[in-house]
Structures are given as structure tokens and as C-alpha cells.
Chains A and B, each alone.
Chain A
Amino acid sequence: MEALISYYKTFPVVRYSTVVIILVSLCAALLGVSLVLKRFSMIGDGLSHVAFGATAIAAAAGFAPLYVALPVTVIAAVLLLGVKSSKIMGDAAIAMISAGALAVGYLMLNLFPSNASTIAGDACTTLFGSSSIIGIGVTDVIVCSVLAAAVIFIFIFFYHKIFAITFDEGFATATGTKARVYNTLLAAVTGIVIVLAMKMVGALLISALITFPALSAMRVFKTFKKVVVCSAIISVSCALLGIIVCITASTPIGPTIAVANILVFAGFFTAGKLIEKK
């Protein structure tokens, strides 16, 4: 505990990072409920690979990764999720995009290394997240916080619309809700969250933040509102726990949070089974 406090005192950036990680986890959990229910988990996973590819290309070309990965991923998200394309986008296509983006990204890192000795390190960081939470710069922190706050606002403001287009798109459209617009919005916001989360937990582990809290909550709770609230609480708790363990035991942040989520899922799964038996 003392180590934790002194760490916070020595590195003010840690405080900001903590805020960002919690905000991003919250966003991922909120959107996760809708994505999981719409059967879009795999597409979300594919998108995180696209974000990796875009980041690698940006790094190779010497641009700031965030500002390239963000638009590329958002556009990919809108194309894959927004334009109701689940029929055209079979799962083979998602596998193609995932593997393709990974290959191109890693190739770029090797062909145009920013510093030859760190290729493996760069790839590892982008795929599995920073090894410690001070790896996040102050500007990134501000950008991330603003975007995350916007995502949370959008989710709350359009909560009922998101429920309607998730539960029954046909009915929503027929009774005057512009499902297409909200699908596109949901997709764009998903793209943003994926890019933000990549900074923290790495491209390969984003899906854990998106799917685990929602799936855990669904084991136990049976109304949409309760599932959303519970999944937000799970996600934030796991993020906090992950940060504490990360600082005290010097574990990488992404996998730590992911493992916390796995444990919570195991707990909720068991609880769900016990409730059913009653």
C-alpha cells in the first residue's frame, strides 16, 4: 500500500492514467452489452486488429499513431458494423481482415523500424499493451479523457435508442427510429473505444474489455438496465484492481485487467448456475 501511495506521489502521470483506464473500461463495458447482444463480438475483435495495423503504418510513416488509427478504425467500424452488413461480412471475411491487418502491421514495423532494436518491443506493446501505466503521455491522456467522456455521454443520451435497435431493429425502424443512423453512431463510437483501449491494454486484449463484463452481468441479471449497470461496475472494478496489482506487482496492465475480468466471469457464471438451481 505504501509503495502504491509513494508511486502516486512520484509520478503524477499515474493519476491521469488511472482516470483514463477507468473511463475507457467503462466505455468498453457499456458498448459491450450492445455489441455482444447484436452478435458483433467477433467484428469488434477484427476491428482491434485493424487498429493495430493502422497504428503500425502510422508509426512507420512517422505520424502520431493515435491520429491515424482513430479515423481508420472508425471508418472500418462504420463499414463493418454500421452498414448492416452482417450478411455480406461472413465470419471468414472477419478472419481475413484480422489476420491481414496483423500481417501488414507487423511487416510495416519491420520494414520501417523507428529504432531497430525495439521492433519486438513496439509490436509487443501495441499488441499486449504498455508494460507499465506510465507509458501513457500527457497529451494522450487529455485526448483519451475527452473522447471517453463523449462516448459515455452518447451512450446515456441515446440509451433507449440503443436498447431499441439492439432488441428489435425491424420494429424500431418501422416505428420511426432511424436505426441506420444509430447503428452508424454505435459503430463509430465502438471504433473510438477500440483505439483508446489499444493504448492501455493492447490490440489483442480489447475484446476482453468489451465482452467479459457484459457476459458476466448477463449470467446473473435479466433486465437490460441491470445488465448495463452491472457490467459498468464490473469493468471499473476490474480496471481498478488491475491498476493496483500492476503497480504493486509490476505486472503488465492489459493482461492483468483481462485476467481480473476472467475471474469475475467465472464467479458470475457460478452464481448464475446457483440461482438457476434455486
Chain B
Amino acid sequence: MPLIECKNLTLGYEGKTVLEGVDLQVNRGDYLCIVGENGSGKSTLMKALLGLKAASGGSLVYGDGLKKNGIGYLPQQTTIQKDFPASVYEVVLSGCLGKRGLLPFFSAEQKRLAKENMKRLGISDIAEKCYRELSGGQQQRVLLARALCASSDLLLLDEPVSGLDPVVTNELYALISDLNREGLTVIMISHDIAAAVADATHILHLSHTALFFGTTEKYLDSEIGRRFAKRTISAINNYTNNIIGNKGGKHRWKH
């Protein structure tokens, strides 16, 4: 049984349809990338996947033991966070909050989970540092550790690399791939089609409806995949070959 299954899902705001007829299946261990232009309905779909938005048509069902609110979420950063006094540990630990219900304080088990996830993402040594003083890449690692505290099944990432420089971007992509190989199911919203086809197992291409949903190989063979992905990828590969040389790129983008 899939973790998430959408059948003919339609979403909208106040009678205005944003997204319709989306069929989608996410199985344990998948790495799904949702691509599409601004305003194509990516964020709306994400809200629905998180259970924050009800379907106006069709169905969205959680399965395989996935509970509502059982999704680790990496949101885009907010302006409030830019000058927020909070230590890395405080931020990571707050990921466990959804599991606490009404109980006021965290259990020893949850504190251990927070420490374990900080270790997993290599941020244990900055646990007492102030979140706002970290680099963009470190901040994303902190938020990723927080998301892992919220769920060990499914991670949903909303444009995780926006605002990061290319080196840090590649590091973060590599980290997400590692987590996926360790068994975590990943759903990522991205502008970056080249990176999406390099790492993801499945692609969902949105433009008010699902233009494509399937495995990455099939996407690259499809009409739309050829149109969107290959152009970007060949541009990147040309750039890598001509300017940086073959050694320069950590990723060799799949053709």
C-alpha cells in the first residue's frame, strides 16, 4: 500500500480551481520531485499533502501507517527567523512537539531523538550556537534535523536550496539523497529540474494539472521531459564541460 495516494485530486481556493485531476502515488523509499513553474499549483498541492488543505474533488489518502501530521516538513524560511534568538538545539527539539499532544515538556526520549538527528546531519558541534548567526546551508541542516524529529517516514521539502550558493546546494542535495538511500521517503518541490532528474526516482510535473507523473527515466523519454529537462541539463553539462572541465561538477547529470 502506498504512503500517499491521490486520485483525480482537485484543489482550489474559494471556488477557484488551482489544480485538477492529479493522480499520484508515493511509495516507501521513493524520492519524488514536484516541478513546475510559479503558480502551477505546487504549493497548493504541498498544503494538501500536509493535511492543511482539504480536497475540493477527488481523493487523497494516507496509507502504510502514515498518520496525518506524520510528515516531516522543511518549509521556506520566514523573515521572522532572520533575527530570532534561538539555539540550534531549541529549534531541532521543537520538531518533536507534534508528538507531545498537550503535555508541556519534552521527554528524555525526545531529547535523545533531537541529539541523534543533530548528529546525523553533522550539526552537533553547533548545538548551542544561535540559529540566526549560521550560514544558509547550516540553517537548512538545522531545519532538516527538526523535520526528521517530526517524522522518520516521510520528508516534504519546499524549495530547500533557494538562496544557497552552488557548492552548498550540491551538498544539501547529496545529503537529501543520502537520507533517501537510508530509507526515508522524500517529496521535494523544486524549480531546479536538472537536479530533480539527477536525484529523484519519480517526477511530477505540474501546470494546473499533472502534465506528467512517473519514474524519472520515463520522464526523460516523454515529450514534456525532453522539452523541459534535457534543455536545462545539456546547458549545464556544456557549461561544466567547457568552463569548469569534467572534474568541476560533483554531479554528472544523467542524460
Contact = CB atoms under 8 A, between A and B. Distances in A.
Interface in B72-104: 72-73, 75, 78, 80-81, 84-87, 90-91, 94-95, 97-100, 104
B162 to A, nearest CB: 15
B104 A224 contact: no
B104 A175 contact: no
B105 interface: yes
A221 interface: yes
Nearest to A33: B85
Q: Which of B50, B75, B97, B156 has the most CB of A within 10 A?
A: B97
B45 interface: no
Contact of B97 (A156, A160, A223, A227): A160
**Interface of A: prevailing SS:** helix
B189 to A, nearest CB: 13
B90 A225 contact: yes
B37 interface: no
Contacts of A156: 104
B97 A224 contact: no
- The range of chain B's interface size is 35 or more
A269 B51 CA distance: 43
B86 A174 contact: no
Contact of B104 (A158, A168, A218): A158
Given A222-B133, A223-B128, A223-B130, A168 B72 contact: no
Q: Is the interface of B mostly helix, strand, loop or mixed?
A: mixed
Given A159-B104, A177-B98, A222-B133, A227 B72 contact: no
Nearest to B95: A175
Contacts of B147: 171
B81 A168 contact: yes
A2 B170 CA distance: 71
Interface string B215-233: 0000000000000000000
Contact of A222 (B68, B87, B99, B100): B87
B246 interface: no
Interface in B37-94: 50-52, 68-69, 71-73, 75, 78, 80-81, 84-87, 90-91, 94
A84 interface: no
B239 interface: no
A164 B85 contact: no
B104 A223 contact: no
A37 interface: yes
> Of A158, A163, A175, which is in contact with the most chain B CB atoms at under 10 Å from its CB?
A175
Contacts of B94: 160, 163-164, 167-168, 172
Given A174-B50, A174-B71, A176-B69, A160 B100 contact: yes
A9 interface: no
B84 A37 contact: yes
Contacts of A227: 85
A175 B146 CA distance: 11
B156 to A, nearest CB: 8
B104 A176 contact: no
Contacts of A174: 50-52, 69, 71, 73, 75, 156
Interface in B92-142: 94-95, 97-100, 104-106, 128, 130, 132-133
The winner among B75, B86, B95 for most chain A CB atoms within 10 A is: B86
Given A157-B104, A161-B97, A177-B98, A224 B50 contact: no
A171 to B, nearest CB: 5
A218 B83 CA distance: 9
A39 B130 CA distance: 20
A232 B221 CA distance: 63
A173 B104 CA distance: 17
B73 A224 contact: no
15 contacts: A37-B80, A39-B80, A167-B84, A167-B94, A168-B75, A168-B80, A170-B75, A170-B78, A174-B75, A175-B72, A176-B98, A221-B85, A222-B132, A224-B87, A227-B85
Closest 9 CB pairs of A and B: A176-B69, A176-B98, A222-B130, A175-B98, A223-B87, A174-B73, A175-B150, A174-B50, A170-B75
Interface of B: 50-52, 68-69, 71-73, 75, 78, 80-81, 84-87, 90-91, 94-95, 97-100, 104-106, 128, 130, 132-133, 143, 146-147, 150-151, 156
